[in-house]
Amino acid sequence: MVALHGQADQLIYRLIKLYSDKKLSITFSFPCFSSVYFFLCFKTMAFQSFLINLASFVDQYFLRDADGRARILPVFGILPSMLLNLHRLHDACTDNLETIGETSYLIKLPWFVKMDIYGTVDPDDIHHIMSANFANYPKGSEMKRIFDVLGDGIFTSDFESWKNQRKLARLLLNHKQFHRFLVKTNWDKVEKGLIPVLDHVATNGLVVDLQDVFQRFTFDTTAKFVTGYDPGCLAVDFPDVEFANAMDRVEEAIVLRYLLPDFVLKILSWSRIGIMKTMKKAYATLDSEVKKYISMKREELSKRKKQNDENGEENEEGMDLLTSYLKEGDNTMGMIFDEKFLRDTILNFMIAGRDTTSSALTWFLWLVSTHPRVENKIREELQSLIIKPSKDDDEHGKFRLFQSDELKNLVYLQAALCETVRLYPPVPFQHKTPLHEDILPSGQKVHPNMKVIISLYAMGRMKSIWGEDSREFKPERWISTQSGKIKHEPSYKFLAFNAGPRTCLGKDAAFTQMKCVAAAIIHNYSVRVVDGHDVHPNASVILYIKNGLKVRISKRWQ
């Protein structure tokens, strides 16, 4: 329930609603404002309202030229056009590029903003930014400001700090004990968490939001991978978990940091009222939960060490990341594993691991359920793994879960997952700001007062990159006609897992998890989207479906 008091709160609520598309549980409980707060918010509201009304008028008569290009207006640049398309941000970017027949465009913002935006999906530009001249395009101070909850973790750090963190993270993620732990955790959560929920929904003929199911699933598994503990977010009764709710609120804070000027955020933060009060509470909850897990893990390791010393045995079970970091000890690669380092590391991996995988799974199940040909081919491939041992024991036509080792060589399933994140990348855009002036391969000159936006969503739909059928869901494009194996596509063309030195360390882990979940659902259940349910991407930092994915589920085997 959202209780709103005052126009300023209504503005902030509308902004979050426009960008976040999730059900909010934010309460604004104050009846009045400080005069400074009211003035700033009212000015922001009035300015937004004025621009939107102006854009509506200009769009009809003056907004585009004969070629469909957005006109650069005096004072406002192309800001009115941008405002009109906020509700379909990613598709608007794609349409603009197709209209002008280019792979890049320059966005002129109002002169008083003192910053222009260069949008590009040019593979040569992207290779230059992400690899060839990587050092000139760091995360930077703005990224730290927007994602301040991540502290000095691997995803917001630069230079030596980032190099050392990445080197250690790679060693730990590639360790055989972590891989063993990941596989076991994923299997257990599918068997004891996901399947009971799907059975309950199917048996009772319920409509379920599959997007919510996947968010809960990946929250639990990511927490287990990172800390060794399962918060229990995925269950038949869909419980409220304070840790998960706080993560949702933090994502809303990130959206605000994209939307509102820094000085407004500082005033709101200082005043500790309204929405910022809610955000501060969420931050405090995250800190408290993470601190609790660190304390529990230290105590667990202390007890385990004592037992090992007494028994003369080492624990051969798999190892979560927090355990790995604590066992490494301080001063590894010049890093001190104090409470802040551990806190930042846990939240970096939690936020990165939860949302990206759940987004990919949601879009995958929607695409597969609406493309019967693809669904049948995946089922045939899964069926090929089931060997009929005897006449009396027919494994065909029975409930079955698949081990990750069984799935790793399934070409069509892998192709369908790759095709999903090509069309619907979990992180739909990246932005970079150069440290120094630079000239991109496209010929565009960029400078420190220019923001470079890379739209992964638009990139996956460009005919110049993926061919005339670029908007079709076609897993076959990933399969070599000669070898029958998965084709390699360069990362600066297929950017879903980043590129260059910052290529995603968790790519293999993500595919392992997605394959297990996908196989369990597609082989054992039929998923059908509820009639009339509208499926469109939201306009936020993670590419989710607006209003979730409402489906009915039925069992294939009795």
**Residues near 295 by Cβ (< 8 Å), separated by ≥ 6?**
none
Q: Residues 96, 101, 103, CA angle at the centre, nearest 5°?
A: 80
Location of structure tokens 């670029």? 470
Give the residue from 144, 350, 357, 148 showing the smallest Cα distance to 243. 350
Alpha-carbon gap, residue 509 to 296, rounded angstroms: 25
Sign of CA dihedral 214, 219, 225, 228: negative
**Contact indicator for 434, 137 with CB cutoff of 8 Å:** yes
Q: Residues 87, 91, 93, CA angle at the centre, nearest 5°?
A: 100
**Residues near 196 by Cβ (< 8 Å), separated by ≥ 6?**
235, 236
**Contact indicator for 222, 346 with CB cutoff of 8 Å:** no
Going edge to edge, which strands form the sheet with 550-555? 207-209, 550-555, 525-529
Give the residue from 192, 177, 195 showing the smallest Cα distance to 230. 192
**Contact indicator for 383, 396 with CB cutoff of 8 Å:** yes
Is 32 annotated as contributing to ligand binding? no
**Contact indicator for 540, 20 with CB cutoff of 8 Å:** yes
Q: Parallel, antiparallel, or unpaired for β 450-455 and 116-120?
A: parallel
| SS3 (DSSP) at 328 | helix
In 370-482, alpha helices (H): 372-383, 404-407, 411-423, 456-459, 463-466
| SS3 (DSSP) at 24 | coil
**Contact indicator for 233, 364 with CB cutoff of 8 Å:** no
Backbone angles phi, psi at 159, to 5 degrees: 60, -135
Give the residue from 497, 479, 558, 482 showing the smallest Cα distance to 525. 558
**Residue 557: CB atoms within 10 Å:** 10
Backbone angles phi, psi at 102, to 5 degrees: -125, 170
Alpha-carbon gap, residue 512 to 411, rounded angstroms: 13
Q: For residue 545, what are the β-bridge partners?
A: 537
Beta strands in 317-460 (DSSP E): 429-432, 438-439, 445-446, 450-455
Q: How far is CA 549 from the centre of its chain?
A: 16
Location of structure tokens 């589920």? 553
- Give binding residues for heme as ranges: 504
- Give binding residues as ranges: 504
